[in-house]
Chain A
Amino acid sequence: AQKVTQAQTEISVVEKEDVTLDCVYETRDTTYYLFWYKQPPSGELVFLIRRNSFDEQNEISGRYSWNFQKSTSSFNFTITASQVVDSAVYFCALSGGASGGYQKVTFGTGTKLQVIP
């Protein structure tokens, strides 16, 4: 069974502050993938990043960075120098293989980020 926990329901920060969104996952698979998606007020979920279970290197993309730690089953997302445009709901997701051989994706409950100007 797969499970994704995003314990932070809502976070508010002042513009230019750094913010970290937490994601903890559970899976019995040895090979799996982790994703982050952004859902702005317009509603469409947008893919941000993907990591596989064998690659624990942290990744940085502009103001975004991701910290994957297999030992703690966590895949945290940090936004540096937050901007108002970062205001959205962010979802962490876990992808693994179902018994029928198809891709099974489980989403967390999301963290709503509000960046205050």
Chain B
Amino acid sequence: EAEVAQSPRYKITEKSQAVAFWCDPISGHATLYWYRQILGQGPELLVQFQDESVVDDSQLPKDRFSAERLKGVDSTLKIQPAELGDSAMYLCASSLGRSSYNSPLHFGNGTRLTVT
């Protein structure tokens, strides 16, 4: 079965540095999600794309985080500057759904970010 690809798998960076994560969703999936998961907690939505448009970025700290999905396929999430509190797992997911709500999310392996 096709998978959601994410890279890198692990990232260690110093605070105040810039860091970027990449995600390639399952082909044909219109919706792409970036979640942050702090250890011991559930995934928290950062940003959601439908095709190339952002449909929800209400929880994205826009002063330091940015996300793009220029051609409606793969996506990049950037943090600049990174802070110690950004240490977490960053999960990318995709789903078929546009106007339907029954599409399960397919997740990548995630990027484990450690900010020192």
Identify the A interface with B (CB < 8 A). 6, 31-33, 35, 37, 42-47, 50, 52, 91, 93, 95-98, 100-105, 107-110
Contacts and interface: CB of A to CB of B under 8 A. Distances in A.
A43 B110 contact: yes
A52 B100 CA distance: 12
A47 B31 contact: no
A86 to B, nearest CB: 19
Contact of B110 (A44, A52, A96, A109): A44
The 9 nearest A-B residue pairs measured at CB:
A47-B104, A107-B42, A45-B107, A109-B42, A102-B55, A103-B97, A95-B101, A103-B101, A33-B102
Contacts of A93: 105
Interface stretch (B14-22, B43-51, B64-72, B78-86): B43-51
8 contacts: A43-B110, A50-B104, A91-B43, A97-B101, A102-B50, A102-B97, A104-B56, A105-B33
